[in-house]
Structure 1
Amino acid sequence: MKTRNYTPEIKERAVRMLIESANDYPSTWSAIQAIAPKIGCTPETLRSWHKKHIDQTIPANVQAQSQEQRIKDLERENRELKQANEIIRKAAAFFGPGGARPPTEIMVDFIDVNKQEYGIELICRVLPIAPSTYHRAKDLEECPDKRSLRSQHDDYYISEIKRIWQDSKCRYGARKVWQQMKADGLQVARCTVERLMKQYELQGVWRGKGKITTNSRDDQKRADDLVNRNFNAQRPNQLWVADFTYIKTMSGWVYTAFIIDVFARAIVGWKVSNRMNTDMVMAALNQAITDRNNPKAVIHHSDRGVQYLSIRYTDKMADSGVIASVGTTGDSYDNALAETVNGLYKTEVIDYLKQQWQGVNDVELATLEWVDWFNKTRLHSTIGYVSPFEFEKRYYDNLTLSGMAA
């Protein structure tokens, strides 16, 4: 039997999920036995990954420290953690609800209020702001003439944008705000209006649309559409479709990327991330290639999102013998099968299990459970009401019987 290789990311994800879910089981070993089959490895393999993680996390020189020194270090760390927690609590109350990064101006105000008690350096270590950024902001506050010409123009433009947006009862988006500014005789680029509205979180009403995940560029080089909306395959690893969807959580937007084998509708790669970038879709692709034993000449179909058209992603496909295919017209029908899986995921996991999700961690654990059930247990009408893995097993069993008959 061929030895299976696991990527470092799969190992890290498995260990992290084990640590996060350990409290839900009576022992570490029982948690290992529950998590390992879902990852696709043996319990002993997962146990060895966990042990290696512990050994790397706690170096030998730390383990050999004297008890007295360790107590001193722990007391110092405890004091620092208490101060950091105090800063976090005060910052949460100061910034208000929401998981997005606060504007620099708000963080500067918070530092001004609390710098006498904690000092600028300590607050900056806790907040996502560098001390140099704070000092520069204070310098520009005292000497406004030092600001760039663009910043000075932005001050005027944003006041007009807010006026128009509020006059519309907050209904106007960037396009209509820009048109109104032109009608008022203000010569400003549309991209400037879009940038400032995004920066100040001003958004118009959307008609039946969710958060946009397919961010495409018409001038970006892309592969031909080899599928033409014909989502049928005669064998496993003939055609994969890829897409990702979004989840609103209490700590901000979270994104889940999937790669589906069209033949049996099996999910062969997935990744949950709080960033809608190339790293996310690359992780799903790497998992699919590894789990499917580096298949050759498989067609990978996606929409025109910039993540799937990135150089790193297309180079990875080329190096792995995967053939790229990209939808042409740019609507949901071009990747209908992947959109269907996204819809099932939203219905059966995101909307069904919880009303509020905390963030990446609980979404990832729920996705792990769902993908395992989806592939191994869930009945699919399009493949004769069997699970994807069962459908693939029957295919390979038939091949074996055909070979024996021949």
Structure 2
Amino acid sequence: MHSLNSMLCLLAIAPSGCHYHRVRLGVDKYAGLRAEVTDVFAASKARYGYRRIKVELKTGVSEKVIRRIMAEDGLVAHASGRRRYGSYEGETTPAPGNLVNRDFTAEHPNEKWLTDVTEIKASDGKVYLSPMIDCHDGKIVAYTAEFNPNAGLTNRMLEKAVAALPEGARPLVHSDRGCHYRWPDGWGSWNVSA
């Protein structure tokens, strides 16, 4: 077996000429790798990108080569459609007139309250926070936190907020009318304007 360089010297061919003719003949030096990349990509159900495919193949080929092979073969990874948290499940009842009209200020305490459910990513999963905020000073009147967003989360928060109200105060409560505020066991029994 002779090396390529010794064969080129023996035949008196320049290395550049050899490479030129190789390209013209369509010799693919990554033909074997191309097949492996396609197999791993198919096995991943089109989810793996070039970095993950490189890890799976455990070859000394650079990510750049794998990226080029994938581009040439039209292998495009599809990102999983991660569903973000959203409380909207369609309108069940028409909303009353917008009483707040995007004016989130108040001259006196306990005049206007705002609430919403927020998803917080933590190291051990997701936590859902439901605060009640006074528009007068931005103070949190009451809050609850749980691992699931449900009517119980918002109901307990509202119970805490109502318990903190001074005698005779009747704040206007504004929410985004998410499903946890509109469930039958939700705020409907509270007769609160959303």
Question: What TM-score, normalized to structure 1?
Answer: 0.28
Cα distance in 2 for partners of 1:252, 1:293 equals 37
Match of 1:219 among 78, 82, 91: 91
Deviation, structure 1 residue 304: 2.9
Query: For 1:77-156, what aligned pairs fall within 5 Å after superposition?
Result: none
CA distance in 2, matches of 1:271, 1:294: 23
Residues 314 and 324 of structure 1 are in contact (CA less than 8 Å); yes or no, is this contact kept in structure 2? no
Report the Cα offset of residue 222 of structure 1. 4.9
* Residue-by-residue CA offset, 1:180-227 (whole Å, 9 max, x unaligned): xxxxxxxxxxxxxxxxxxxxxxx38xxxxxx42x32123322532211
Larger proportion of strand = 2
Q: Please, which runs of 5 or more residues in structure 2 have no aligned partner?
A: 1-41, 49-74
Q: 1:297 to 1:291 in 2, by over 3 A?
A: closer
Counterpart residue type for residue 237 of structure 1: N
Equivalence for 2:174: 301
RMSD of aligned C-alpha atoms?
2.6
Deviation at 1:252, TM superposition (A): 1.3
Residue from 163, 170, 174 that aligns with 2:45: 163
Aligned to 1:280: 153
Give 1:246 deviation, angstroms. 2.1
Given the alignment of the two structures, is residue 263 of structure 1 paired with residue 136 of structure 2, yes or no? yes
Residue 274 (structure 1) shift:
0.8
Q: Which has the higher contact order (CA 8 A, sep 6+)?
A: 2
Letter in 2 for 1:219: E
CA distance in 1, matches of 2:167, 2:184: 20
Aligned residues of 1:257 and 1:270 also touching (Cα < 8 A): yes
Quote the Cα distance in structure 1 between the aligned partners of 2:77 and 2:164.
52
Shift of 1:296: 4.9
2:127 pairs with 1:254: yes
CA offset digits 1:287-327 (Å, max 9, x no partner): 00001146554211011311122223322421xxxx412xx
Correspondence 1:316-395 to 2 at 5 A: 316-318=189-191, 323-325=192-194
Partner of 1:218, secondary structure, is coil
**Alpha-carbon distance in structure 1 between the residues aligned to 2:167 and 2:144:** 18
**What SS does structure 2 have at the residue aligned with 1:270?**
strand
- From the superposition, tell whether residues 252 and 296 of structure 1 become closer, same or farther in structure 2 (CA, over 3 Å): same
Q: Which runs of 5+ in 1 are unaligned?
A: 1-159, 174-202, 205-210, 326-406
Cα deviation for residue 270 of structure 1 reads 0.2
State the one-letter code of the partner of 2:193.
A
Aligned partner letter, 1:163: K
Cα distance, 1:249 vs structure 2: 2.2
Matched, 1:289 2:162: yes
Counterpart amino acid of 1:221?
T
The 3-state SS of whatever aligns with 2:158 is helix
Residues 163 and 295 (structure 1), Cα distance of their counterparts in 2 relative to 1, 3 Å cut: farther
| Identity level (%) | 25
Aligned-partner SS, 1:253: strand
Using the alignment, how far apart are the partners of 1:302 and 1:171 within structure 2? 33
Deviations 1:320-360 (A, max 9, x none): xxx412xxxxxxxxxxxxxxxxxxxxxxxxxxxxxxxxxxx
How far apart are the structure 2 equivalents of 1:163 and 1:295? 62
Distance 2:170 2:94 in 1: 18
Aligned counterparts of 1:222 and 1:269: Cα–Cα separation in 2: 28
**Structure 1 residues 235 and 215 mapped into 2: Cα distance closer, same or farther (>3 Å)?**
same
Q: Which has the higher helix share?
A: 1
Q: How far off its partner does 1:170 sit?
A: 3.3
> How many residue pairs are counted as aligned between the two chains?
125
